[in-house]
Each structure stands twice: as structure tokens, then as C-alpha cells.
């Protein structure tokens, strides 16, 4: 199977962007035959929400969401923003308080993740994660 790519240009928007990105991702996963309502789909949607939320809170909003699905049985999610600063864990806080748990989720749910600085005229970075393709039920 050749890699399939879906791209959603966001231009740094923050209002309603998380919902928009989740809907875009849900549709792409359905097109790629991921079963709706499964743990695999929910994990993918949660992690998209985390990456996009972090771009909104810490980087002025995401420029773009890219989904790559292809060989090797993996889904790659990329969120590009204008901040050159890589993601960093926040100091340990009260676990009962909201916020500061996004990277913990990435570490637990993603097969791998990281960030890459952007080169060229616009500073920024791409934060990416990879998830395995769910095994189809018999």
C-alpha cells in the first residue's frame, strides 16, 4: 500500500480548532477503515487533541495538521506551529489538577513521538507521533 496523506491547513487558528482537527482525523480514519468507537480510534483522537491543544496553549496555534497512513502499518500525526521550542514536560504538579498531562499521554499511548525544528523563512517546529494500525477483528 502506498502512503496516503491528508493535510488540514489551519494558519494558526485557535477558536474551534481542536474540534475541527478531531473531525478531520475521524473522517480520515473512517476512510482508512479504522473501526469507529474502538480503543485505537479513541487513542488517535485523544492524541490529536493533545498535540493541537498544546500548539494552541504554547505556540500561538497550529499551522497545519498532517495525517500519514501507510506502509509498515502505522499512522503518523504531525502538527506544525510557529514556536521553535520543543515540547518539554512541566514540573510535577497535583495530578488532580487539569493540565500538564499531555506528554504523559504521548509517552503512554504513542508508539513513538518527537519534534523536528523547521528550517527556512518561518521558524517553528513539527510535533509528530506514530501509532500502530489496529488489527482488524476476525
pLDDT in tens, 20-46: 999 999 999 999 999 999 999 999 999
Write out the chain in H/E/C secondary structure.
CCCEEEEEECCCCCCCHHHHHHHHHHHHHHHCCCCCCCHHHHHHHHHHHHHHHHHHHHCCCEEEEEEEEECCCEEEEEEEECCCCCCCCCCCCCCCCCCCCHHHHHHHHCCEEEEEECCCCCCCEEEEEEEECCCCCC
Q: Which residues pair with 54 in a beta bridge?
A: none
Q: What is the mean pLDDT of residues 90-95?
A: 63
72 has pLDDT over 70: yes
* Stretch among 58-62, 122-126, 131-135 having the lowest mean pLDDT: 131-135
Band of the pLDDT at 16, cuts 50, 70, 90? very high
Percent of the chain with pLDDT over 90: 71
Q: What is the mean pLDDT of residues 81-101?
A: 74
Q: In what order do the strands lie in the sheet with 4-9?
A: 4-9, 62-70, 74-81, 125-132, 112-117
Q: Tell me, what's the pLDDT at 104?
A: 85
Q: Tell me, what's the pLDDT at 20?
A: 97
Q: Pick the more confident residue, 59 or 1.
A: 59
Q: Tell me, what's the pLDDT at 98?
A: 56
Q: What is the mean pLDDT of residues 85-112?
A: 78
Q: What is the mean pLDDT of residues 12-27?
A: 95
Instruction: Yes or no: say if 58 and 103 are a contact pair by the CB < 8 Å rule.
Output: no
Average pLDDT of the chain?
89
The CA distance from 20 to 23, in Å, is: 5
Amino acid at each position: 500500500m502506498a502512503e496516503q496523506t491528508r493535510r488540514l491547513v489551519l494558519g494558526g487558528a485557535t477558536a474551534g480548532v481542536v474540534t475541527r482537527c478531531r473531525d478531520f482525523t475521524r473522517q480520515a480514519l473512517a476512510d482508512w477503515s479504522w473501526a469507529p468507537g474502538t480503543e485505537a480510534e479513541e487513542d488517535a483522537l485523544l492524541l490529536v487533541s493533545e498535540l493541537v491543544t498544546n500548539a494552541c496553549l504554547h505556540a500561538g496555534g497550529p499551522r497545519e495538521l498532517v495525517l500519514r497512513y501507510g506502509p509498515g502499518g502505522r499512522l503518523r500525526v504531525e502538527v506544525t506551529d510557529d514556536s521553535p521550542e520543543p515540547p518539554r514536560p512541566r514540573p510535577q504538579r497535583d495530578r488532580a489538577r487539569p493540565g500538564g498531562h499531555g506528554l504523559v499521554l504521548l509517552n503512554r499511548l504513542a508508539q513513538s513521538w518527537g519534534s523536528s525544528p523547521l528550517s527556512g523563512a518561518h521558524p517553528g517546529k513539527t510535533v509528530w507521533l506514530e501509532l500502530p494500525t489496529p488489527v482488524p477483528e476476525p
